Structure 1
Amino acid sequence: MNRTMITATNTLGQLQKQMDMISQNMANVDTTGFKRREASFTDLLFQEFQNQPYGNLEIGRLTPNGVRQGVGAKLGQTQMILRQGSIKTTDRPLDAAFTKEGQFFRVLVQNEDGAAVRFTRDGSFHLTPIADNELMLVTGDGHAVLDENNNPIYINGEPNNFAINENGQLTVAMANGTTQAFNLGVILANKPQFLEQKGGNLLGLPENMGQLGVAEEEIFTELNGPLRNEISIKQGALEQSNVEMSKEMTDLINVQRSYQFHSRAITMADQMMGLVNGIR
């Protein structure tokens, strides 16, 4: 296998990953609170060939000496774009939309490995009965919404009205005239590139935190106490996805053309090797 085939093959696998990422963005164009991702590429290792044995012949050269041959490109990073999505008014009391970038609700997910805290921008909340006269605040997928102390939110009695203020405080007016108040758990992502997509429009911390050498408090900040003044929520509205279909289609066409170019390079290299092997 010659160098042309090696270079093209290495890059093809990385282009396929970029196409998968773009496809995921397009599939979530109508997902509430979804944040698109962008890919950036870096060069793989390259070799330098000193084809000029006489340094005096290179005087005045503007480019580096020698000839450099690479072995392709790799996907360096997939970055989450936290740009604010458009706000859609629903007039539903239990719908809440962030109007600032980088803020997420905390929810509790139960899976086969136990309970885990996840983060989401989807503020479409619901109530599910737990026991007699006891309700729990959950997401559309049934995950418990957490308060500022990472505890599920339970409402005792028969609710009559709901109010969510700008700083994320949920006030429930009960049928008996009393009120119950809860502070929704909210975080601010400081380093969103460390957050992994866990499925179901949820984000979470990577499983290899120890190997990354980054602390949890560096990745996000819990907006509790005085920091709750930084929260910005609009009740009766939902944030739409920040995916722009026109941009994703343009990116997909560009990646497909790059994929075709490298596939053609492999075909040409194979034909050249066939000609050489056919020489008698």
Structure 2
Amino acid sequence: MNRSMITASVTMGQLQNQLDTIANNIANSNTDGFKRRDVQFSSLLAQEINNQPNQDAEIGRLTPEGIRLGSGARVAGTVLRLEQGGIIETGRSLDLALLNPNILFQVQKTLENGDEIVEYTREGSFYLTPVDGNPERLQLTASNGDLVMGENGPIEIPSDFTSISVSGEGLVEVTLADQTTVNAGQLSLVEVIQPQLLESAGENRYRVSETADLNEVIGQPEANGNFIQQGSLEQSNVNLAQEMTQLMTTQRSYQMNARSIKMADQMMGLVNSIR
């Protein structure tokens, strides 16, 4: 196959990955707490073709010898961008917006085989569901029912509460019908040290890569920090204008590579037609 066709076809496959990433960013532009991803490219290995048979003519040459032809480009990785999104007030006591871009909530997910794993999210729209076997207790959960983790396990409160207060550092307090205040626990927050080692787990959540050391990726936030704004939600950090510009640029690159394949095919057709 023509070398230019190989280079273009390889690059087109990688550009499709970038188009998929941009499409995912745009699709989640209205998802609370969503963080966009950027695609990074790197060149594939280049092959050097030596076209000078007379090495005596190369004496004193200052530029590299031969002709270097690349084999296209590949996606080196997608980078999670944790820039802060806009904050909107909802007035709902269980809507919690994180104010530090590197802070995440911890959510306990139960797999189909019964195993429990920890996932991380920026989405702070939480709910209260009854504790199994104890209707007088409610537990703080995500929208799909997964438990929101506190420093001493899931956050539970009495079912006869009248109001909930969450401090900036994540302390949950509830006011009961008799106007007494009860400490329901401390939300377990983590600070991301190396965002590039977080993998998307679906449902706007992340997990630490199996090949990474947990302590190198996740740390503990500083004490007494102001990390949470109650009654608010963080919006997506997707910039639609920027994503659309990137989309058009990637489409033009895809079309250019497709055009080069067509031109190479036409040239080979002309050569084959010569008798």
TM-score range, shorter chain: over 0.9
Give the corresponding residue for 1:243: 238
- Once the two structures are superposed, what CA deviation does each residue of 1:193-245 show, in whole Å capped at 9, x if it has no partner? 11111111111122xx2xx3x3110011134xxx3324511111111000010
Question: In the superposition, relative to structure 1, how do residues 127 and 260 fare at CA in structure 2: closer, same or farther (>3 Å)?
Answer: same
Letter matched to residue 76 of structure 2: G
Letter matched to residue 121 of structure 2: T
Give the corresponding residue for 2:173: 171
How many Å apart are 1:110 and its aligned residue? Answer: 1.9
State how far apart, in whole Å, the 2-side matches of 1:41 and 1:88 are: 35
Greater than 6 Å deviation, 4+ residue runs: none
Give the corresponding residue for 2:141: 138
Write out aligned runs for 1:199-238 (5 A): 199-206=202-209, 209=210, 212=211, 214-223=212-221, 227-230=222-225, 232-238=227-233
Q: Tell me, yes or no, if the aligned pair for 1:103 and 1:231 is still in contact at 8 Å.
A: no
Q: TM-score, normalised by structure 1?
A: 0.91
- Once the two structures are superposed, what CA deviation does each residue of 1:85-130 show, in whole Å capped at 9, x if it has no partner? 0110112111111111111000011222432111000111110112
Give the corresponding residue for 2:156: 154
Q: Tell me, yes or no, if the aligned pair for 2:84 and 2:101 is still in contact at 8 Å.
A: yes
State how far apart, in whole Å, the 2-side matches of 1:273 and 1:174 are: 82
Write out aligned runs for 1:1-280 (5 A): 1-52=1-52, 53-54=54-55, 57=58, 59=60, 61=62, 63-113=63-113, 114-130=115-131, 131-149=134-152, 151-176=153-178, 177-206=180-209, 209=210, 212=211, 214-223=212-221, 227-230=222-225, 232-280=227-275
How many Å apart are 1:59 and its aligned residue? Answer: 3.8
Which 5+ residue runs of structure 1 have no aligned equivalent? none
State how far apart, in whole Å, the 2-side matches of 1:262 and 1:132 are: 62
Question: In the superposition, relative to structure 1, how do residues 66 and 231 fare at CA in structure 2: closer, same or farther (>3 Å)?
Answer: farther
Which 5+ residue runs of structure 2 have no aligned equivalent? none
Q: Tell me, yes or no, if the aligned pair for 1:58 and 1:65 is still in contact at 8 Å.
A: no
State how far apart, in whole Å, the 2-side matches of 1:55 and 1:27 are: 61
State how far apart, in whole Å, the 1-side matches of 2:144 and 2:199 are: 19
Moved more, 251-260 or 83-92: 83-92
Amino-acid identity (%): 43
Letter matched to residue 162 of structure 1: I
How many Å apart are 1:57 and its aligned residue? Answer: 4.4
Q: Tell me, yes or no, if the aligned pair for 2:155 and 2:184 is still in contact at 8 Å.
A: no
Aligned residues: 270
Q: Tell me, yes or no, if the aligned pair for 1:97 and 1:239 is still in contact at 8 Å.
A: yes
SS at match of 1:8: helix
Q: TM-score, normalised by structure 2?
A: 0.93
How many Å apart are 1:178 and its aligned residue? Answer: 4.2
